[in-house]
Structures are given as structure tokens and as C-alpha cells.
Amino acid sequence: MQGSANLNVMIKAARMAGRSLVKDFREVENLQVSRKGAGDFVSKADIAAEKIVYDILTEARPTYGWVGEESKAKDGQDPTRRWIVDPLDGTTNFLHGLPHWCISIALEHKGEIVSGVIFDAAKDEMYWAEKGSGAWMNESRIRVSGRTRLNEALVGGGVPGSGRGVLPRVLKDLAKVMPEVAGMRATGSAALDLAYVASGRFDGYWEHRLNSWDLAAGLVLVREAGGFVDTVRAGGNPVEAGSIICGNEAIFEKLAKLVRAD
């Protein structure tokens, strides 16, 4: 595997955190039947995974800034670079013993995501990309799908759980999109949804109200795989806006037209 020194550190951190999470994941099924449940255990697993990633990245690059889901953001001595990390994307899946979750690590340089790693530890699938170097899954180059017809497209999207006020908007989106596509999937992991677009498993994807760590690594993956990415309201920065539409060129244009229609 060829990559920059930064990318190699990111992959090392993802693998180490993944090893820890896989070990904890094996305990979840047993915890489901306890009175207390698995929630506290999974929270500890999440925090432990972030510490592993933080320790490895900051030891290698002590001057970089940091944004992580489970910890306070930190400015680095180098104001142009920061890590953006989700140590466990798909926590609800993990909590329920569903093997669809990942570690997501991105490197931002001067406001642009230049490297990304998404590790599906349960399936041993390591997605990675660097600006200008293409997108990969393990040792294989990946590309967005070649489908052009919306009625043949499989698309991903987010369906919010309790307490998230975006549900009415999502239901409107679904009413517009679902009659036009071959199928729609809500997998519970935004990062893996983006990796699936990059690898051609999904033809398109959209979601509202994401955090920077949910989508940062996936952005560079999709772009380096030949995909198109934008915010739901056209022309924004997905990391800042927290919304995204992506896909191959043809599906992106058709999906965006549907989602953006009043």
C-alpha cells in the first residue's frame, strides 16, 4: 500500500482502534440481555477507541489540531491542519450487535479535506484516499458506479431517530426520491454510506444534519473515486453545513434535482 506518511499514520490508528472495538463488539450480544443493557459499555468502548486514535495521531503529529466526537476540540500549533475523527460511526448499530459501523479519520489542510480513512473493522474493509491519488479499498482501486438511470440506482440516506427535528424534511425527501429509484437504504452509518458511494455499492446518497466527523473522510473518498459532492443547498461546504448530496455525475444531478425541489 503506497501512501503518504500522514496516511500511513491514519491507517495505523484506524486499525488499532478497530481491533479494540471488535473485541468490545463481541461482548455486546451478552450485554443485551442484562438489565442494565449495553449502553454504558458501548459509550466506554467509543471513548477508548477515540483515545487510541488520539494518542497515535498526536504522537506522530503533535502540532496538528483535533476535532473528535467524544472529546473537546483542540487548536494546534499548526493552524492550517487538523484531524477530524469519529471513533465509532454507527453507534446504534454497534449497540444492537449489528456489524455495520466504522472508524472515520480525516485530515483537513487549509479548510480542505486532503486525506481520509474509513475502516469497517467488522468486515476488514479499509477505505482510504488522498487528494490526487485516487480512492482505494484495501489493495484495490475503487470508482463510483457507472449507472445513469435513476430507476436503476440504489441510493443511501439518513432516517433520523427520536429527538431529531429534521424528520419532517426527510419524509418529504423520501416521498420524492423513493418512487424514482430502484431502492433506498438507511444503514445507520454516514461514513460507510459515503464509502459505499465511492466503491460503487451505492449510486448516490444524501443526508441532513450531519457533524463534520460523520462525513469528512468520506468527502475525499467520493471525490477521488470520481464522484460529485455538494451540500443540500447548492454551493456550500458539506463539512461546515452538515448536509450532503453525492453520487456519480448522472445520478448526482438527478438526485439533487429531486431533493432540492420544493
Write out the binding residues: 69, 86, 88-89, 214
- Residue 102's SS3 state is strand
Q: What are phi and psi of 207, to 5 degrees?
A: -165, 150
* CA distances in angstroms from 14 to 25, 97, 185, listed in the order given: 16, 20, 26
From 88, 117, 104, 70, select the one nearest 24 (Cα to Cα): 88
From 97, 77, 61, select the one nearest 85 (Cα to Cα): 61
Dihedral angle sign, alpha carbons of residues 177, 214, 229, 73:
positive
Helix (H) or strand (E) holding 23: helix 5-32
Report the first-to-last Cα separation within the chain, whole angstroms: 46
Task: Point out the annotated binding site for Mg(2+).
Answer: 69, 86, 88-89, 214
